Amino acid sequence: MENFKLLENKLINFLDSYLKSSKASGFVVGLSGGLDSAVVATLCAKVAPTKALIMPTSNSNKQNLADAIELSKSLNISYEIIDISDILAAFLPFSDKFDRLRVGNITARIRMIILYDHSSKLNSLVVGTSNKSERILGYGTIYGDMACALNPIANIYKSDLFKFASYLGIHPNIINKAPSADLWQNQSDESELGYSYKEIDELLKAIENDEDLSKFDSEFKNQIINRISKNSFKLKPPAIPIN
């Protein structure tokens, strides 16, 4: 994963080829101010007209908003800020507002609805921003942030994205911040997962390469393997009966 020029060309060709075959006019990306969406927006901007949707809530980190705006300007792509606080509030009577998981899922699905509405309006493709680590772990909302027409970073582990982002010239403010879905105040991916992405990716790569896993701590290994198994349904299409 060190030949970043080759990787960049591969992903640009992937985006360009899929866009042409779809007959769409461009891309629409949910821009959070975080690493993953910054990498995706940067790649998309090299291929076709790209619209960034920045969709904060009242709980969103203000620095993320500033970073998303600054990235959009630096890429010279159009962007729109859509505060979804009122939309989210309308759902809370039907949910437990103190259940962070439920509120987080609703937030992610609201953003998905807005992205796909703009996709229809602009004849553009919704581009996904879930990295390989998140996808394997199921660390995302099915039909929320995991919903997309195509995903250029789907096969890149989170720990590898930091170096790739640096190669792409993404601002250090984005690269150096703690990974967060920003679904509530002070939310941290690694705090929720219980381990750093570096630790997790080392294990995931060992599993992928069918290596001996005995060097890994048993509790850590079992937690990650159980999470993968529990959330594997998120990567599968809906079940249908077999004729």
Residues making up the binding site: 30-37, 109, 129, 134, 158, 180
Roughly what angle, to the nearest 10 degrees, separates helices 158-167 and 4-22? 90
In order, the DSSP letters of 6-58 are HHHHHHHHHHHHHHHHHT--EEEEE--SSHHHHHHHHHHHTTS-EEEEE---T
Per the annotation, binding residues for ATP are 30-37, 129, 158, 180
Per the annotation, binding residues for Mg(2+) are 36, 134
How many beta carbons lie within 10 A of that of residue 131, not counting itself?
27
Per the annotation, binding residues for deamido-NAD(+) are 109
Three-class SS state of 112? helix
Three-class SS state of 125? strand
